[in-house]
Amino acid sequence: MYTEEILLEEIRELLDDEELFSLYERAFREYHYYFDTTNYIVLNVYQFNDHGPVHVLLTTRRALELLKIVKKFDIQTTAEKLGKPLKWSKFIVAFGALFHDIGNMIHRVNHYEFSIFLAGPIVERLVNEFERRDPLLLKGLTLNAIYTHDEAVPCTTIEGSLVTIADGCDMEAGRSRLVHKKDRVDIHAVSALAIERVAITEGDEEQPIVIEIWMKHPAGIFQVDEILTKKVKSSLLTGRVRLRIHTGTEGEIVEKVI
C-alpha cells in the first residue's frame, strides 16, 4: 500500500526545503538498519504490527501534514514561540517522527525513553549540520518530540503533539498500533483489521484538524478510542481535532471532537 520512495517524495514536497530534505533522506538511508532491526524485534519478539521504515516515514508525512494545517490556521509552534524560524519546527517534526520508535529494539515498556537514549547522539550530529547558533535547544526540542510521542507522556510542545497524533493515525488494516494476537479472534483482532483508510484534512477555526477514518466494521471504533483518542488527549491540541468516522454501516458518519 505504501512504499518508501513514494513516502519520501511526499515528505520532500511537505518539507519544501531541499537542504532539510537532503539531510532527512540521508539520515533515513544511513540509519535504515535501525528501523529494520526495530521492526524485526517488534514483529518477531513482541508480535506487534509494523514499526519499521514505512511506519516512520508515514508518521513523518502525517506529522508534516498536520504542521501545514496548524500553520494555515496561524497556530504558533513552540519553536516559533521561542523566536525560532518555522524550519526549526519542520526539523523537530521530521526527525522526531523518524526516530520515535527505535527504542523498541531494547524493550517495549518505556520504549520512548530508550528511543531518546539511542537517538541522542544521532540527533546531535544532525542538529550540528543544520543549526550552528543554538544547537542544544534544537536538540532538546527534537528529543522532546520523541519522548512525548507515547500517550503515557503528556506533550509539552506543539511539534511533539503533531508527532504524537501522526503516530496514532497509523491504524489502517494490517498497520494497527493496537496489540493483538494473530492466532486469536477477539475485539483487538477485529478492530485492528476494520479500518480501511485514514486521511488528515483541514477543518475550521475551532477544530482546524479533521481526521477522517473509513472502516468496514464498527469494531474499528475500539481501535480509534484506544489509540488515536488517547494520543490526541495527551497532546496540546486536544479540543482542536475533529474525528469524522465512516462506520461502514449504511453510510453512517460519526463526528466527535477530541
The per-residue pLDDT for 51 is 92
What proportion of the chain, given as a percentage, has pLDDT over 90?
A: 82
- What are the residue boundaries of the structural domains of the chain, listed by start? 4-257
* pTM for the model: 0.94
Residues 48-70: pLDDT tens digits?
A: 888 999 999 999 999 999 999 99
pLDDT of 204 > 70? The answer is yes
Q: Across residues 198-215, what is the average pLDDT?
A: 97
- Per-residue HEC secondary structure of the chain comes to CCCHHHHHHHHHHHHCCHHHHHHHHHHHHHCHHHHHHHHHHHHHHHCCCCCCHHHHHHHHHHHHHHHHHHHHCCCCCHHHHCCCCHHHHHHHHHHHHHHCCHHHHCCCCCHHHHHHHHHHHHHHHHHHHHCCCCHHHHHHHHHHHHHCCCCCCCCCCHHHHHHHHHHHCCCCCCCCCCCCCCCCCCHHHHHHHHEEEEEEEECCCCCCEEEEEEECCCCHHHHHHHHHHHHHHCCCCCCCEEEEEECCCCCCEEEEEC
Lowest model confidence (mean pLDDT) among 5-9, 23-27, 195-199: 195-199
Q: Across residues 163-170, what is the average pLDDT?
A: 97
The per-residue pLDDT for 222 is 87
